[in-house]
Structure 1
Amino acid sequence: MELRQLQYFVVVAEEGGFSRAAERLHIVQAAVSQQIARLERELGVILFDRTTRQVRLSSVGELLLPEARAVLAAAHRTRQVAVDIAAGKEGILRLGAIQGPGDRIHRLLNDLAAIAPTLQVRLHRLSVAERLASVRSGELDAAVVRALTEAPQLELLPVWSDPLFIALPIGHPLAAEPVLRVEQLAGLPLRLAPRDHNPPFHDLIVGIIREAGAEPLLGPPFTAIGSSTPSWTVFYQVGDLPPMPRVAIRPLAAPTLITSLAVPSGPPGPALRYLLQAIAGTDPL
């Protein structure tokens, strides 16, 4: 059984004759008659009662007509879904995600939903190394990463930037400054989380201290904001900060934290193109 045979069956039933069906289908009448006869042989039934004056559905044909229409409708839906998937409007986008900062990710996903409302997004929260490896292997379509300046075999597309903040004891003289620079802090012990927790961010901070002409003076590992000891830490905001009466929070003059999208090299796939379109609509760097 072929879909075209079911199509011819439905058209003949709707037009009430082979000649009018042939005109509607833009084929010769003999081809319509031939395909209907084949369908009847394959099904082992008579679909039409034929006389010299008219062609009308048999009782069997009346029962099978709704089924034929359902099959043709399902085939049409299948083709349309395939077209939408190829265009990226439907399907699945597998995205390696991060937390925040703020509501950036949520706003990006809302923008994406407005562009491609039937595209499913599956977020995967993995370590930086796992995110990048998954994009390289094809397990993820893209991954959001912070502070990364290079990723072999991948392209890094800047998405947005966020300010960095300094936390230091409220009683320290530098707490009186409205904005701080790295060189002002170089003589204080720096408290960072262990490098293996977030290598790109750790390397970023250490790198900007060295660019300022100083060697990082690493203090105890950072575990939480708040300390009375003469030390400092640097962080990016991912949500509202709790009250910290003994801690001064000041913006860092430079640099900002760059968040990028790690994608495979080469032309993007359909779903990824919609994500890039949503990103293009977000606030510029």
Structure 2
Amino acid sequence: MELRQIQYFIAVAEELHFGRAAERLHIGQPAVSQQVRRLERELRTQLFDRSSRAVTLTPAGRALLPEGRELLKALDCFVAKAERLATRNEAAFRVGISSALGQRLDDFLDALPDPGSGTRFEFQTLDAHTRLEEVRAGRLDAAFIRGVENAPGLRFLTLWCDPLVVALPVVHPLAERDRLDLVDLAGLPLRIASRSENPVLFDTVVAACRKAGFEPALGPPFTGLQDTLAEIGAGAAGWTLMYPTAAGMVSSRRIALRPLNGEPITIRMFLALREDAEPGRLELLTATSAKVRRKVAEENRQLD
């Protein structure tokens, strides 16, 4: 039995005329009659009554017509889904990232509901402002972004919220402690990106210091995390804050990383995408984001 035989049967059943059915199917009438006869032989039942000038359905034909329509509907769904998957597989998913995602990027990829779908990812490391503009312009499909919760034309999915950790010289007396109080760092210069370079991080850290009762003394200009860590490790007085995901970048035994007591300093990570994102991808990314949130929350609970 072939699906085309079911298709021919339904066309004749709906037209009740072999000639009109053939026109509808864009094939010759003999082919339609031949395949319907073959179907009847294979089913061992007559589907049409051809005893008069009019073609009518037999009781068996009327009973099988709804199931035949369901078969063709299922075929249409099958083909449509295959086409969607093919389109998704052929197109790369373009994502903007920062340089300090670390294992969290792995967590995101692991959380994808359908890792075997063949979706190919392309990542671009860009500054936060450029990431958002590229998503808005459609040149990126999504972007990881910290601290920005809304922007025109964009939708934000919450991913995780990690507490920042303190990096300071391992020779400093404070490094002997397992955890630090933020106020203990009041006497050390803070090495941090300027507000013009990273307003979210700068404002969050300065606000936390003021809440702890002191105004941070800003150190030399921040030229990048690796350079700053190298200078601190070489003996320059100062401290900085790092995302836990960037801890793997610290290879120097001269740097100590310490968590903070009390209320953590956190900056939420989001996945930004266009408001008019394709529904299938939006559904996939929403499910993935929820799974990442649960995983990170569980990890943070275990650390407390």
Question: Which whole-Å deviations, capped at 9, do the CAs of 1:45-79 have from their partners, x for residues lacking one?
Answer: x997x99xx99xxxxxxxxxxxxxxxxxxx99874
Per-residue deviation at 1:250? 1.3
Query: What amino acid does structure 2 have at the position aligned with 1:251?
Result: P
**Conserved? CA contact 2:168–2:238, under 8 Å:** yes
Question: Which whole-Å deviations, capped at 9, do the CAs of 1:225-253 have from their partners, x for residues lacking one?
Answer: 11423321111242525543433321133
Corresponding residue number in structure 2 for 1:244:
252
More helix as a share of residues: 2
After TM superposition, the structure 1 = structure 2 runs for residues 188-227 of structure 1, keeping only pairs within 5 Å, are 188-222=188-222, 223-225=227-229, 226-227=233-234
Per-residue deviation at 1:114? 2.5
**In structure 1, C-alpha distance between the alignment counterparts of 2:288 and 2:139, rounded to whole Å:** 22
Q: Secondary structure at the match of 2:273?
A: strand
**Conserved? CA contact 2:165–2:259, under 8 Å:** yes
**Conserved? CA contact 2:205–2:265, under 8 Å:** no
**Conserved? CA contact 1:91–1:118, under 8 Å:** no
**In structure 1, C-alpha distance between the alignment counterparts of 2:141 and 2:288, rounded to whole Å:** 15
Residues 135/235 of structure 1: CA separation in 2 closer, same or farther (3 Å cut): same
Q: Secondary structure at the match of 1:281?
A: helix
**Conserved? CA contact 1:96–1:124, under 8 Å:** yes
**In structure 2, C-alpha distance between the alignment counterparts of 1:107 and 1:191, rounded to whole Å:** 29
Pairing partner for 1:234 from 224, 237, 241 = 241
Q: Secondary structure at the match of 1:123?
A: strand
Corresponding residue number in structure 2 for 1:186:
186
Query: What amino acid does structure 2 have at the position aligned with 1:280?
Result: A
Q: Secondary structure at the match of 2:282?
A: helix
Q: Under a length normalisation based on structure 2, what TM-score does the superposition of the two structures give?
A: 0.63
Aligned residues: 240
Query: What amino acid does structure 2 have at the position aligned with 1:252?
Result: L
Residues 76/191 of structure 1: CA separation in 2 closer, same or farther (3 Å cut): closer
Query: What amino acid does structure 2 have at the position aligned with 1:228?
Result: G
Question: Which whole-Å deviations, capped at 9, do the CAs of 1:183-204 have from their partners, x for residues lacking one?
Answer: 2212211112344543422332
Residues 134/23 of structure 1: CA separation in 2 closer, same or farther (3 Å cut): closer
Residues 210/227 of structure 1: CA separation in 2 closer, same or farther (3 Å cut): farther
After TM superposition, the structure 1 = structure 2 runs for residues 34-49 of structure 1, keeping only pairs within 5 Å, are 34=23
**In structure 2, C-alpha distance between the alignment counterparts of 1:33 and 1:247, rounded to whole Å:** 80
**Conserved? CA contact 1:168–1:175, under 8 Å:** yes
Q: Secondary structure at the match of 1:221?
A: coil
Corresponding residue number in structure 1 for 2:19:
30
Corresponding residue number in structure 1 for 2:137:
137
Identity of aligned residues (%): 30
**In structure 2, C-alpha distance between the alignment counterparts of 1:23 and 1:218, rounded to whole Å:** 79
RMSD of the alignment, in Å? 3.9
Per-residue deviation at 1:163? 3.0
Per-residue deviation at 1:215? 1.9
**In structure 2, C-alpha distance between the alignment counterparts of 1:160 and 1:99, rounded to whole Å:** 16
> Structure 1: 5+ residue runs without aligned partners?
1-9, 41-45, 56-74
Residues 117/21 of structure 1: CA separation in 2 closer, same or farther (3 Å cut): closer
Q: Secondary structure at the match of 1:174?
A: helix
**In structure 2, C-alpha distance between the alignment counterparts of 1:207 and 1:145, rounded to whole Å:** 20
**In structure 2, C-alpha distance between the alignment counterparts of 1:122 and 1:266, rounded to whole Å:** 21
Q: Under a length normalisation based on structure 1, what TM-score does the superposition of the two structures give?
A: 0.66
Per-residue deviation at 1:173? 2.6
> Structure 2: 5+ residue runs without aligned partners?
39-75, 298-304
Corresponding residue number in structure 2 for 1:273:
283
**In structure 2, C-alpha distance between the alignment counterparts of 1:190 and 1:218, rounded to whole Å:** 5
Residues 107/90 of structure 1: CA separation in 2 closer, same or farther (3 Å cut): farther
Corresponding residue number in structure 2 for 1:58:
none
**In structure 2, C-alpha distance between the alignment counterparts of 1:155 and 1:180, rounded to whole Å:** 37
Query: What amino acid does structure 2 have at the position aligned with 1:172?
Result: H
**In structure 1, C-alpha distance between the alignment counterparts of 2:117 and 2:86, rounded to whole Å:** 12
After TM superposition, the structure 1 = structure 2 runs for residues 2-151 of structure 1, keeping only pairs within 5 Å, are 11=4, 21-22=8-9, 25-26=12-13, 27=15, 28-34=17-23, 79-84=80-85, 93-112=93-112, 114=114, 117-146=117-146, 148-151=147-150
**Conserved? CA contact 1:89–1:271, under 8 Å:** no
Corresponding residue number in structure 2 for 1:152:
151
Per-residue deviation at 1:21? 4.3
